[in-house]
Amino acid sequence: MDRKAYTAKLAALRELRAEIGAAEKAVADAQRALGRLGQERGRRVMELAAYEGAKADAIAKAGGLSVGDVVRIAPLLDPTPPGARVVRADDRGAAAVPAPAPPDQTPPAVETAVAVAPAPTRPAAAVEQPPVPAPDAAAAPAAAAVAAATAPAARETEPGVQADSSAAAPVVVQGQVRVLPHIPQGPAGDRFAAVTSGLVSTRPNFVQQPRVTVFLDAATGDLVAREYTLRLDLGAKSPGEILDAVLAAAPGTERVYVTAGAPWHEGAERYSTLKDAVAAWLHTPSQRWTTATGRGRDKLAGHFVHQRQPVGRYAPAAAPDGAMVEIRWVGEWFDADGADPALCRDAFRLLWQALRRHWDDVVLMGSPSQTGRDLWTRTIPTKGKWAGGYPVMSEELRALLHATGGQGRSELMVPPRVPERLPGLVEFDATFAYGKQTWKSGVGAPRRVTARAFAAMDEGAQAKALMACSHWHVRVTVPAGWEHVGLLPAPVPGERAWEYPATGGATFTTWAGGAEVHLALTNHLMPWRIEVLDGLVWEDGKPLDDWAKRLKAAWADLTNLSTLHGDERQRTAAYLASRAVRSILLFGIGGFAQRPRTVGGSTPVGEPLPAGVEILGQDDRLVTWQRSTGFSRDPNAHPEWAARVWSGARTALLSMRMREDDVMVGALHLPPASIVAFRTDAIYTTADVTWPYHGQPGEFLKKGHLPGPVPAPATLDELLALRDLGRAHFARGGER
């Protein structure tokens, strides 16, 4: 470049600077105009919200907003169960008034706190102040000011420990509050203890059609289709390039399981989150492929954006209503852990053969959850009381269970609850834990048990109600002098987030399964004080028992094969297949919970987006998004079953009697200061105890032992690192 060219380019750069400045000014003007329009839209939403029959979804659609946006502008339009929301204090310290605790049926002057007493040693009932009634709209600002003035200052607590609070106070952490929903009185409450009209789980009258499936190592390009292996050129590993290569080598393919390579993480460093990277990969433009819209009985459509287990669903762009091809991660079924595609194919083959012994019409569907629920429908009885199928709970009750039926316990104790230096770390993992909890589940419409009705029961009737399939709204007080881990979950800010208060005197309000509440009352250390506010009790039934027994039999067959087969590769394949059976039961139970469904899609830049979407990412061509479609009329939605299994598993993690050995096992039977962490069905402890193990579901297997001293983990990653070291040390024969 000479001097003349340099001067010319400088002049051109100045012109560009002027253009950029003008564009920035235009953007600023547009943003100000957009802000004014947004304020006007908010004002109009507030006007519409004043109408008695206003609905959040209708206003959202008219205003181009999500329902969540409308609710944030006009909280009275919140369609979720009352109180199931997060409230934040603003910068000036004014606190929003949380939804009050639900009143029971006692006279308005006092509220009788029923200290549940199945055992003779229970503390006597106490009398407390009634909950504050809900303020009306006009009184809300004054009530907020009073709440701000009288609320105790939030203080930091140890992880997993609830700060002391009044009996009626919601859980508060760093200015946030999350209050769980309750069942209202009157006709609105009656709808909770009901079933959905015309919606019943029935045995299918059709056979699922298998899909042609291949297994692909995206790192090497190795493809296993039927009985042959090929190496493909996957180019830049975009979805379109992968599908082009796979379909050219194996025409007719309908499902691709990626066994290694995770192509959706390619270039992830360019994105702020891993989810953004996955979304961008799934929606990478292709001339030959477009997002599938579902077909036949398979109503799934669009991609599923997940950080580690995404699902891409594609159709030929020339015939978008044609055959759909899925790209999935084999890790949905089991951890391949370096297994090649041929070994993964063999694992699926063994899985199908093991299940075929128990279901003549078994078809392996895309995910363990889909497969599990399909197999369950084929065990629905054709005789007896439930021959016509199992009724689905009301939408109100399903929403309540979604908000209050937590899953596995995940908790990490950090110093000073545990020493800075641990004398060692032992891992006990409950084998096939959920498989032990499927022998009983609630069926039919539940019976509501109010606080007054519960108080009127004798101790035997109270114990029977708690030990039935039940779900309870309770106010809990940790006894003074309690030195062990927490027993009942308390809500903390964040969707479906829980902690387990263990500080003596801590009081909180929560929902819990009957088994957990009963354990809190009858544990061998010290009974907790429980005040029943409300409850739902189902008729005991066995809707999952036959399904689970068949799965456990298949799991046992494959587990035995994984130790007895003479060929090492087949032993590994059988082990992977046994893990897949575990996933079918585990995720099948999770599928019964029927969370609000999320669908995703993409829209060309400049075109209007669908109402209520969350933008996941954008490039120069497409805006990728997702949105929740709420609860569907799913005939197989049974969150009451999932909640009972999860509650039973959390209870067994704390205390369980091994009948054959007459031995009590679980965290409560370990020294209090020895518990380091819980992870769903695993206990991490410094106590090296010897518990019986026969390889049956629910029994605790010692899987790792790391001799100390070791630093106490402060994060989940640190815990997992110590776990891996402990497993490796234990596998080498150390500290058995």
- Residues 600-632 have pLDDT tens digits of 667 777 788 877 777 776 766 777 777 766 666
Q: What is the pLDDT of residue 151?
A: 31
**Lookup result for tokens 């106010």:** 475
CA distances from 719 to 189, 376, 410, 670, 724 (A): 44, 36, 12, 19, 9
β-sheet bridge partners, residue 195: 393
CA distances from 137 to 86, 94, 95 (A): 19, 16, 15
The string of pLDDT tens digits covering residues 325-336 is 999 999 999 999
Q: How would residue 83 be classed by pLDDT, with cut points 50, 70 and 90?
A: very low
Choose one of 578, 597, 630: the last residue of a domain.
630
- Say if residues 529 and 426 touch (Cβ distance below 8 Å): no
68-72, 158-162, 227-231, 546-550: range with lowest mean pLDDT? 158-162
Whether the predicted pLDDT of 122 surpasses 50: no
Q: Which helix or strand (DSSP H or E) is residue 529 part of?
A: strand 529-541
Dist CA 295 CA 315 (whole Å): 10
375-384, 618-627, 714-723: range with lowest mean pLDDT? 618-627
pTM of structure: 0.73
Q: How would residue 155 be classed by pLDDT, with cut points 50, 70 and 90?
A: very low
| 153 Cβ contact list (under 8 Å, min separation 6) | none
Residue 40 lies in a domain: yes
The string of pLDDT tens digits covering residues 651-707 is 999 999 999 899 999 999 999 999 999 999 999 999 999 999 999 999 999 999 999
Q: Which helix or strand (DSSP H or E) is residue 8 part of?
A: helix 3-49
Residue 94 lies in a domain: no
Give the highest mean pLDDT range of 31-35, 584-588, 618-622: 584-588
Q: What is the pLDDT of residue 297?
A: 47
Q: What one-letter code names the amino acid at 128? A: E
Q: What is the pLDDT of residue 100?
A: 32
Q: How would residue 535 be classed by pLDDT, with cut points 50, 70 and 90?
A: very high
Whether the predicted pLDDT of 101 surpasses 90: no
Q: Is the dihedral of CA 724, 328, 254, 220 positive or negative?
A: negative
Whether the predicted pLDDT of 135 surpasses 50: no
Q: What is the pLDDT of residue 596?
A: 63
Mean pLDDT of the chain: 82
The string of pLDDT tens digits covering residues 462-489 is 999 999 999 999 999 999 999 999 999 9
Dist CA 385 CA 536 (whole Å): 21
Residue 313 lies in a domain: yes
| 122 Cβ contact list (under 8 Å, min separation 6) | 115, 116, 459, 521, 527
| 577 Cβ contact list (under 8 Å, min separation 6) | 334, 347, 348, 350, 351, 354, 558
Q: How would residue 52 be classed by pLDDT, with cut points 50, 70 and 90?
A: low
Choose one of 630, 657, 685: the last residue of a domain.
630
Residue 659 lies in a domain: no
- Say if residues 599 and 302 touch (Cβ distance below 8 Å): yes
Q: What one-letter code names the amino acid at 417? A: R
Q: What is the pLDDT of residue 67?
A: 73
Mean pLDDT value across residues 192-219: 92
Residue 144 lies in a domain: no
The string of pLDDT tens digits covering residues 176-197 is 467 888 999 888 889 899 999 9
Tell which wins on pLDDT, 78 or 291. 291
| Count of structural domains within the chain | 2
Whether the predicted pLDDT of 519 surpasses 80: yes
Whether the predicted pLDDT of 503 surpasses 60: yes
Residue 516 lies in a domain: no
Whether the predicted pLDDT of 437 surpasses 90: yes
Rg (CA), the chain: 28
- Say if residues 701 and 667 touch (Cβ distance below 8 Å): no
Q: Which helix or strand (DSSP H or E) is residue 647 part of?
A: helix 639-654
Q: What is the pLDDT of residue 631?
A: 60
Q: Count of alpha carbons within 13 Å of 636, Cβ hemisphere only?
A: 21
Q: What one-letter code names the amino acid at 674? A: S
* Enclosing domain of residue 310: 213-376+545-630
Q: What is the pLDDT of residue 150?
A: 25
Residue 623 lies in a domain: yes
Choose one of 30, 50, 79: the last residue of a domain.
79
- Say if residues 178 and 493 touch (Cβ distance below 8 Å): yes
Q: What one-letter code names the amino acid at 315? A: A
Same domain, 217 and 362: yes
Q: What is the pLDDT of residue 177?
A: 60
The string of pLDDT tens digits covering residues 280-324 is 999 888 889 988 876 554 455 678 888 999 999 999 988 766 688
Residue 134 lies in a domain: no
Task: Note the residue count of the chain.
Answer: 736
